Chain A
Amino acid sequence: MENKFLGFGLGLRTEHFQDILNNQPAIDWLEIISENFFVAGGKPKHYLHQIRNTYPMVMHGVSLSIGSTDPLNQSYLRNLTQLIHEIEPEWVSDHLCWTSIGNVNSHDLLPLPYSEEAINHVADRIKQVQDVLGQQILLENVSSYLTYNESICPEWEFISEVVSRADCYILLDINNIYVSARNHGFEPQEYINAIDTKRVRQFHLAGHTDYGDYVIDTHDHEICDPVWDLYQLCCQRFGAISTLIERDDNIPAINSLLSELARARSVLDQTDLSSTNQLS
């Protein structure tokens, strides 16, 4: 999978459907939540197809449950395959986590222990999913609030080992690194500098809620300054990587998100890319 730089994109939200269709704002690309379009028809699908005619898209899932010890959910994979066929996305991503067990879905991105058992299990399942979909996928690092006693390595070693064994790619959520760093007391720079530059194909940027002793990944605020600083570091390390701003709550008019996109663009523009480690 080549590193295709799509530019600066937004997560597609129903609140913005009309605005995007009527005004075609200058957004380079859009990311959809796959499961929101696992419906037969009607307005959401209609808007999706219309918007797809104008904008490059990627599909981002939340229910693959790649880390679950349940069998892979075949009907989920069929739905995903069907939507891939309809949308022809640039790529497909989900999260390095688990969401369901025993056929009960938490609809949350639950953390895995960073153990050999989990690495083997997840890497095997990613390979199976990539076989079914006939393409490599991207997996995103999640925000987490707890650490299991059986974890034997930091998160960055876990994710590096998983993606290298499974031969998949990383959707690096820079806000999630910041949130987890605050919650677990590690240095976000150490995380970023440990990630293989050849494996990262997309960035996420988002806002969070700071409770002092801990931080929650709420996607309901603007991106904060420490996350912008980490974004700059990521641009230096990884070069031009397709960048997407996520907003899921307290959703503002598109213009205010466009100004955040402009800021991301200027961070990359001001990065001296000749010194990056990006190889491809």
Chain B
Amino acid sequence: MNKSRTIRTTDDKSPTGLKVRQQQLMDFLLSGNPDIQQHIAQQGKTSTQSRLGIYRNAYSSRLRDVIDIDHPITGTYLGDELFELMVNQYIQQHPSNGTSLRHFANNLPDFLGQHPPFNDNLQISELARFERILLSSFDAADANRISLPQLSSLPADAWPTMTINFHPSVQLFNTHWNVVAIWQAITQQTNPPAPEQCNESWLVWRNSEMLTEFQNMDNIALWMFHQIKAGADFATICESLLEIVAEGAVSAAAVDVLTRWINMGAISNIGTDTAVVRST
């Protein structure tokens, strides 16, 4: 190759031939825009349309597989026909912006909540949102987990100022639909219950065996969850609990919830004025 013919192309502002060609091929993948076709060579028996078609099929089938793998329960709930409709519309409206396919379907719950025919049945969007929360718990960061003996070893005067930190996999799933029951039924290959409006809060976390779990939260647990997320110390949490718990029962109730969470492996560490108690 004659190096004297070399064209320098480091000036990002000038639209080079390469840049135009790449945009044309991408436009074809995204929308079928045929501008690229005249720049593809005729070769052998396979037409340029078929050659481009190989890329377009690969593009959509790869993205379809991602949704299928990330959202098996939503897929089953919708049935084949609606699933294909959802996939085609979502791929059209939400091209991938990231280098990892792990995040391609992040906008699927919002999409389902906003677009017909899916937004006629809002439990579909909620079911997809539950699946995404399970996914983000599944590969959230690792961290130590505190044990009950470590909590008990805390001196009494450290309790009021102690702060509590959840394991990075801990997520709150608030929903107005019975989608956890629907999810469970489909997972167990039984008929899902009819959609029903309800107010439920679920704690989702990854246990020490690295299995993702979820548990229904009562009022006290939910109240404490929000206080902890806001950075409140134990004394502040107990004080605020007075709004929903009788005065004499507050600290027992708070310790009960905290104990449960520690046993579940949902608490990473406890901070005190002087030190952070961590699992080793």
Instruction: Tell me the bound Cα distance from A102 to B12 in angstroms.
Output: 13
On whether the beta carbons of B26 and A117 are closer than 8 Å, the reply is: no
Instruction: Tell me the bound Cα distance from A185 to B63 in angstroms.
Output: 30
Which of chain A's residues has its CB closest to B212's CB?
A42
Find chain B residues with CB under 8 A from A39 CB: 102, 139
The answer to whether the Cβ of A230 comes within 8 Å of any Cβ in the partner chain is no
On whether the beta carbons of B6 and A120 are closer than 8 Å, the reply is: yes
How many residues on A have C-beta within 8 angstroms of the other chain's C-beta atoms? 55
List which B128-179 residues lie within 8 A (CB) of chain A. Answer: 138-143, 168-169
Given contacts A35-B100, A146-B48, A185-B43, contact A113 B18 (CB under 8 A): yes
Instruction: Tell me the bound Cα distance from A71 to B22 in angstroms.
Output: 14
Most buried by A among B8, B19, B26, B169: B26
Pick from A71, A107, A213: contact of B44, CB under 8 Å = A213
Pick from B9, B38, B52, B139: contact of A44, CB under 8 Å = B139
On whether the beta carbons of B40 and A216 are closer than 8 Å, the reply is: no
Find chain A residues with CB under 8 A from B276 CB: none
On whether the beta carbons of A184 and B1 are closer than 8 Å, the reply is: no
On whether the beta carbons of B206 and A105 are closer than 8 Å, the reply is: no
Q: How far is the CB of A210 from chain B (nearest CB, A)?
A: 13
The answer to whether the Cβ of B16 comes within 8 Å of any Cβ in the partner chain is yes
On whether the beta carbons of A101 and B142 are closer than 8 Å, the reply is: no
The answer to whether the Cβ of B96 comes within 8 Å of any Cβ in the partner chain is yes
Given contacts A103-B97, A117-B7, contact A98 B40 (CB under 8 A): no
24 CB-based A-B contacts, threshold 8 Å: A35-B99, A40-B139, A40-B142, A41-B141, A44-B139, A45-B139, A45-B142, A46-B210, A69-B12, A76-B99, A103-B97, A113-B21, A116-B6, A120-B6, A121-B18, A145-B54, A146-B52, A149-B39, A150-B39, A157-B1, A183-B46, A213-B44, A214-B54, A216-B54
Chain B interface (Cβ < 8 Å from any Cβ of A): 1, 5-10, 12, 16-19, 21-23, 25-26, 29-30, 38-41, 43-46, 48, 50-52, 54-55, 58-59, 62-63, 95-102, 104, 138-143, 168-169, 206, 210
